[in-house]
Structure 1
Amino acid sequence: MGFFTDCSRALLTILSLTPASNRHFSQHPLALQDITIEPEKASPGFKCQYPSLKGWTNCNGPNSRDCWLKDSASAQPLFSQYDIHTDYESVFPQGIHREYWLNVTDKVISPDGYLKTEGKVVNGSYPGPLIEACWGDDITIHVTNYLKTNGSTIHWHGLRQLHTNEADGVNGVTQCPIAFGDTFDYKFKALQYGHSWYHSHYSLQYPDGVAGPLLIHGPSSANWDEDWTPILISDWSHRSAFQDFYVELGNSTSGVLGREPTMQSIVLNGTGSYTCDPSTDKNCLPQNKRKPIFSKVFQQGKRYLLRLINASTESAFVFTIDNHVLEVISTDLVPIHPFKTESIHIGIGQRYSVIVEAKPSAPVQKDGNYWIRTVVSDGCGTINQSKPEIGVIRYNAGSTALPTSTNHTGLSTLCADEPPENLVPVVPWPVDHQAVNDVLNDTFEAFVSNNVTHGALRWDLTDTPLWLNFSNPTILNLGNTTWNPEYAIIQESYDRGYVYIVITTQAIRKDPSKNTHSVAAHPIHLHGHDFVILAQSNQTYDVSATPKTFNFNNPPRRDVALLPAGNTGGYLAIGFKPDNPGVWLLHCHIAWHASSGLAMQILERQSEILPTIPSLDPTRKTCKGWDKWLAGHVLDQDDSGV
C-alpha cells in the first residue's frame, strides 16, 4: 500500500508541515550511496537524487510505474516505499535543491506562421523552457522582468504551495508586479508529482506568450515505455490580448455587454498553421519560414505517455488521435485509476496524462501517419481557423506526408468535463458529509452586473467584480479586520474538516434584476488546493434538494473544474481542506472573464499565514521597485489585475 513505519510517517509529516521560517532551500551534496533516478525523457543530464535515503533503490520502470522508491533493506518493503498509494499531501521523499532563471521579454513571434508584433516570451521562446523537478525537491526560480511597458509575475499553476503562499505569483494578491529590470525569487517544494504549467498572472499577459511547461517526476498509475515532455495546447490571437480585451468589455457608454474576442488559430506546443497570403499580407510568413507541423514518431507496440495541458485564453478542446485509444491516468496533479476512451475533453487550465499504445485500429493507414486533433468544444471558444488537425503521429520516421486518416466517429464535442465516475483518485479522500462553513453564505453566482463598474459591465462572483491595487497586495495587509469590497475577500478561518463552496449560473442570493444572466460555462480554478467535486450539472441548483445528491465517496479531485451552463442554470459544488494558511485566488480561467472580475480571494486561517512566511522583505522590495517604476509610467488599469 505504500505506507511507512509509524515513526517514518510521523517524521515526514512533521517535515512537510514545518513553517517556512524553519525551512531552507539548499543544495544537498550527492554521495556515492545516494539513490539516483534518470527519467527516460528528461533534459540531458537531469537526475532525481535523494541523498538522505541511504540504502534505498529506484523501483520505477516500464513495468512498475506505480512505484518510485523503496527501502531494499526493509523486512517489509511493501510498507517502506514511496509509490502511487502514498498520501502525497502529508508524506514525500526529500529530494535536492534545484534552481532556474527565467527572463520575461518582449518579442515578435509567429507560432502559427503569422507575426505577432506584441508577443511576450520567457527566455526568448514560446512556450517558455521546461521547469523540471522531482517529487520532494526544493525549487528556487529567479524571475526577471524585461518587459518595457508591463510588470510581471509567474504563477505555478496547480502547485499546492503549502506554507509558501508568498510564492504563488499573483500580483495584487501575493505580491506586487515585478518592475522592469527587477527580479523576484520564487521558492517552494514539489510536494505533488505530475505535470502542469507556469504562466504570468499579470492581467492579460499569458495569452501573449508568457507560459511554459512544468514537470515533476514521480510514479504513475499505469505502465508506459516512453514519455513526451508536457505539451501546451492553446488558442492563439495575432493581436495583443490587452487589445482584444476591449471586445470583451463592450460599450460602456451605452451599457452594451461585450463578447468574447475571436481567436485566430490553434497552436500545439507553439506550432500551428494559419492560412494567409504572404504576397498581400506582410505579417504572413511564407511556408519555408514557418515551423514544421508538430510530429512524433511511434514504434509499433510501445506505450507512450502524453502529458496534455490546455493553456488557452478562452477555448476548451476535445483531444483525439485518429485510430488510437487513450488511457487516462491523471487529472491535473491527481493520479486516477486508469480508464480508456477515444477522446478527452480538456478545459482551460486542466491537464491530463494519457497513455497511447502504438497499435492503430482499423483502417490502418498505409503511410503510417495519423492526425492528432484538437476540436473546439461546442460553445467554449471561437476560433477563426479552428483546424483540428494540429499534429501528426508517424510510424515511419522518414515520412513527411500529411495523414489521410479520419477522426473517430460519434464523438461528443459537448463542453463538459469527463464523467465523474471515470475520474477516481488513487489516493482516496474521506470527505465529511457536514461542511464546517455556512454553505449558503458561500454560494456565489457567476453573473454580469447591470451596473457599469470601472467603465464597463463586468463579470463577478461576489457583490462586486474583483478589482485589485497592484501596489497594495493582500499579503501585505494581513492585519486587516475589514477589507475593500472590491478585493472580494472570503474569510475561511477553519482548522479542520471541509469547506464547501457552490458556484451557480443562476440567482441564489443575488437580486436577479441587478444582474445579467449569460449562458456561459466557466473553468473554475482554485489556487493552493486540490478540491473534490461534490456535484456538477447544467441544471437548476436547488438549495434544499441538490446538496442531498453530493458525492462523498472518493469524488473526483483536481484544481480546475467546469461550471456548466444551461438554459435555466448550472452549478459546481466543490470542497477543500482548510489546511493551507494563505490568501488564495479562486477565478474563472477564461482570461477575459478573470480580467473582467470573475474572481475572489479565499483568506484561509488569516492569523496563521505570517508565521509560515520566512520574511516579507522580498515582497516589500518588489513593491518598492514597482512603485518606483510606476512613478515614471502611466498605468491605465482596465482590468481586475489577474
Structure 2
Amino acid sequence: MFNLARLTQAAILAGAIFQKVQAYAVVGFPSAAPRANAGWSGNSAGAISNDPAKRPGIAPGGYSPLGDTHTPQLPHFLTNNPLPQGKPWGTKNASNTNYYENPPTTNVTRTYDFTITKGVIAPDGVSVTGLLINGQFPGPTIEANWGDWIQVTVHNNIPDEGTALHWHGFLQKGTQYYDGVPGTTMCPTAPGSSFTYTFKADLYGTSWYHAHYSSQYASGMIAPIVIHGPQTVPYDIDIGPVMIGDWYHSYYTEGVDQVMKPIPNWKNPLSNNNLINGRNNYDCSLTNLPCTPNAGTAAFKFTSGKSHRIRFINPSASAIEKISIDGHVMQVIANDFVPIQPYNTTVITLGVGQRTDVIVYASNSPTDSFWMRAFIPGNCSPTDGKGNYVQAAIFHEQADLAKQPVSSAQPGWNNNICANDDLSLTVPYYPISAGNPDTTETIVAGMQSNGTHLLWYQNDRTFRTNYNDPLLLEAKLGNLKFNDLANVHNYGTNRSLRFIVENHSGQPHPMHLHGHNMFILASGVGRWDGTVVNPDNPQRRDVHIMPIGGYIVVQWNQDNPGIWAFHCHIAWHVSQGMVWNVLEQPQSILDKVDVPSASQTCREWAAWTGQHVVDQIDSGL
C-alpha cells in the first residue's frame, strides 16, 4: 500500500545521504586493481560460456547447464594466459607458498557480465517467483586461475528491489569495497543501475557467489566459483561444481515475513525441497501451486578406472546437508578455500556456505551406474518433511542412460549429527600456527525478545543495516562512532583476535567471517575446556558449524583493514540480526583503504530511494 509518510521520510533521508556521498567521492582514489584483459570473456576450453546461446546441455525445464551429462568437464587450469614454468602460478604451490601473504599475480583479468532478473521458475516442477542471473539458476560459473583478477559487471533488472553480490571467501585485500555487503561496504545497486566489481583470485579452490541483500539468495541468486590452483593430490577429471541446497516454494520475502512477525506469530520458514545443481522432482499432489511432475534430476558422467574431483557447495538458505555416493569412498582434499591433508570418508557434512572438494575413484566397469545422495536432517534444519532428500545419477561411459541406478546407500550416511567432521581430521596442507591472540572475546549467541519481536542477539546486541550509509565509507571519513544497531566492535591495532562463541539455542549456526580465513581452534557441545585441536596447524576455513548447545573457538590475524561481518550464514538468522561487525585497523582504513567506486552506488541508491519506499523489515543482510 502507498505510504506517503514513509515515502516523504525516505526522500528526506535520501537528500541527506546524497550530500554525504559527495564527501565519499572526495576520499576515493583511482583503482589499481584492473589488469590486461587478454581477450578472455569467460568461455575458455572446458568452461561454461556466459552467452546463453552457447551454453550446452540445458535439459528441458532446466535453468543451468550444471548437473547434466553433457556438462563439459573443467580443465586443470585456464591456458589462455602466460604460463611461467608451464602453469599460470609458476612455481608456487600448496607446500611452498603462504597464500595469505604471497599469492601470484598473472596480470590477467577474467571479465563477466551479469543481468539479474525476476521471473517464474520451476526447478523442481513447482512454479514460484525466483531470481535469475543471466536467465540461469544456479547462475553462470565464474572460472579463473590463482592470481588472476576477476571483473564482474552486474545489471540490476529487478524492478522493485536493490541488490548486491558477495564473492564468498575472497579476502578482498585492497578491494574491501567490493565485498558486496550493502550497508557495510557499499550501497545496494538500485533497480535499473549497474555496478562493476573487481577483485583478485588470491585464494584457490571452490567457492560461490550470492546475493547479500536481505535473503534474496534463497530465491535463486547463487552460482559457483572455481579458482584453478596447484594440485595437492593428482586426479584425472574435474567434474566441476555440485551445488546441493534447500529450496522454498515461495519468494524469499515470505520467509522474511515469517521470521519478522511479532510475538507470538513468529515461525521458522520450512524448506520444501532439496536440489542438486538446481534440479529435483516433487510430488505434485503435495502442493496447490502449479506443478509439472518429473521435472528431472541431475546426472553426471564418470570414466571407469579414473579419479574424479567433485566440488561440493552448500548454497542453502538454512539446511545442513549430508552427502554420500553409493559404494564409493570420498577422499577429502579441501575445505572451503583451504587444501588439507587428505582423509577418507563416506559422508560429507556441509553447513550453509561451506565447500568440500573430494576425489572419487571410479570402478573399472564401464557400464556401472550409481546414486549420489543428499539429505537434510530434520533435527538440524527446519523442513516440512516432504522434500528433504535428493539424488542424482552417476553414469560410467557405457552405462544405459535410460535406466536408473540400482545401487544401495552407504550405511549411516543420513545421520542426524549437526556438526562438521572432527577437527583432528582436517589438517591444512600448508601449516600455519595460530599463536596466542592479542585479544579474546566471548560472544554468547541466543534468541530473545526486543519487546515485540524475536531476534538473534550476541552479547545482548542485535544488528540492522542502513543501506544508505555504509559502515566502511563512514570509517573512511574518520567517523568511528556507530549506533548500537550497527553492532560494530572496534579492535583497533590488535594483531590477532580470538572469539569464543557460545550457542545458547536449540539450532546449529554455520558461522562465517568476511575478509579472512579463520583458524578453527575448537568446536563441541557444552563449554570449551581450553583445549586447542592441532595447535601447531589448526583447521582454517571461512565457515564452521557451531553445534547445538555448544561452541566454536575461532581466531584470525588482523591483517586486512576494513569492517567485516561475522555472522550466521542461515539466511533467516541473518535477517533476524545475527551479525557482529569487526572494525579492523581503523587508522589503516583512513591511510590505505581505497573506495573509488562505492560512492557511485550510493548516489544512485539515494536517487532511487528518494522516489521509492524500501520495505526493509529485517536486518537487510
TM-score interval, normalised by the smaller of the two chains: 0.7 to 0.9
C-alpha separation in 2, matches of 1:45 and 1:89: 22
| Residues 1:293 and 1:39: Cα distance change in structure 2 (over 3 Å) | closer
C-alpha separation in 2, matches of 1:240 and 1:369: 36
Letter in 2 for 1:499: L
Question: How far apart are 1:23 and its partner, in Å?
Answer: 2.8
Contact 2:141 2:226 in 1 (8 A): yes
Contact 1:161 1:528 in 2 (8 A): yes
C-alpha separation in 2, matches of 1:20 and 1:344: 45
Counterpart check, 1:193 vs 2:193: no
Q: 1:150-165 residue pairs with structure 2 within 5 A?
A: 150-165=161-176
| Residues 1:471 and 1:550: Cα distance change in structure 2 (over 3 Å) | same
Q: Which residue of 1 aligns with 2:98?
A: 87
C-alpha separation in 1, matches of 2:419 and 2:333: 19
Q: Which residue of 2 aligns with 1:340?
A: 344
Q: 1:92-491 residue pairs with structure 2 within 5 A?
A: 92-95=103-106, 96-116=108-128, 118-250=129-261, 252=262, 255-256=263-264, 258-277=266-285, 281=288, 283-287=290-294, 290=295, 292-359=296-363, 368-384=368-384, 385-386=386-387, 388-395=389-396, 396-411=398-413, 412-432=415-435, 434-437=436-439, 439=440, 442-452=441-451, 455-478=452-475, 479-491=478-490
Q: Secondary structure at the match of 2:598?
A: helix
| Residues 1:343 and 1:46: Cα distance change in structure 2 (over 3 Å) | closer
Question: How far apart are 1:548 and its partner, in Å?
Answer: 4.8
Question: How far apart are 1:277 and its partner, in Å?
Answer: 4.2
Counterpart check, 1:523 vs 2:510: yes
Contact 1:82 1:92 in 2 (8 A): no
Contact 2:423 2:533 in 1 (8 A): no
RCO higher in 1 or 2 (8 Å CA, sep ≥ 6)? Answer: 2
Give the paired residue count.
Answer: 560
| Residues 1:257 and 1:503: Cα distance change in structure 2 (over 3 Å) | farther
C-alpha separation in 2, matches of 1:245 and 1:174: 23
C-alpha separation in 2, matches of 1:436 and 1:216: 33
C-alpha separation in 2, matches of 1:537 and 1:48: 44
Letter in 2 for 1:559: D
C-alpha separation in 1, matches of 2:172 and 2:77: 24
Counterpart check, 1:635 vs 2:614: yes
Question: How far apart are 1:39 and its partner, in Å?
Answer: 6.9
Contact 1:458 1:465 in 2 (8 A): yes
Contact 2:314 2:354 in 1 (8 A): yes
Match for residue 574 of structure 2 among 587, 594, 603: 594
Letter in 1 for 2:405: P
Runs of 5+ unmatched residues, structure 1: 1-18, 31-36, 59-67, 71-79, 507-517
Contact 1:501 1:573 in 2 (8 A): yes
Q: Which residue of 2 aligns with 1:581?
A: 561
C-alpha separation in 2, matches of 1:500 and 1:589: 19
User: CA offsets, 1:47-93, max 9 Å, x none?
Assistant: 34554x65x223xxxxxxxxx755xxxxxxxxx54455421112222
Contact 1:227 1:306 in 2 (8 A): yes
The more displaced of 395-404 and 152-161 is 395-404
Q: Secondary structure at the match of 2:454?
A: strand
User: CA offsets, 1:315-336, max 9 Å, x none?
Assistant: 0011000111100000000000
Letter in 1 for 2:86: T
Counterpart check, 1:562 vs 2:545: yes
Question: How far apart are 1:371 and its partner, in Å?
Answer: 1.2
Question: How far apart are 1:448 and its partner, in Å?
Answer: 1.3
| Residues 1:46 and 1:191: Cα distance change in structure 2 (over 3 Å) | closer
TM-score normalised by the chain length of structure 1: 0.83
| Residues 1:210 and 1:410: Cα distance change in structure 2 (over 3 Å) | closer
Q: Which residue of 2 aligns with 1:503?
A: 501
Among the aligned pairs, what percent are the same residue? 34
Q: Secondary structure at the match of 2:86?
A: strand
Question: How far apart are 1:45 and its partner, in Å?
Answer: 13
Q: Secondary structure at the match of 1:547?
A: coil
| Residues 1:318 and 1:45: Cα distance change in structure 2 (over 3 Å) | closer
Letter in 2 for 1:606: P
User: CA offsets, 1:333-374, max 9 Å, x none?
Assistant: 0000110111111111000000110028xxx9x973211110
Q: Secondary structure at the match of 1:104?
A: strand
Question: How far apart are 1:259 and its partner, in Å?
Answer: 3.2
Letter in 2 for 1:310: N
Question: How far apart are 1:172 and its partner, in Å?
Answer: 0.6
Contact 1:140 1:187 in 2 (8 A): yes
TM-score normalised by the chain length of structure 2: 0.85
Q: Secondary structure at the match of 1:406?
A: coil
C-alpha separation in 2, matches of 1:22 and 1:473: 19
Question: How far apart are 1:615 and its partner, in Å?
Answer: 3.7
Q: Secondary structure at the match of 1:584?
A: strand
| Residues 1:549 and 1:335: Cα distance change in structure 2 (over 3 Å) | closer
Runs of 5+ unmatched residues, structure 2: 1-27, 48-71
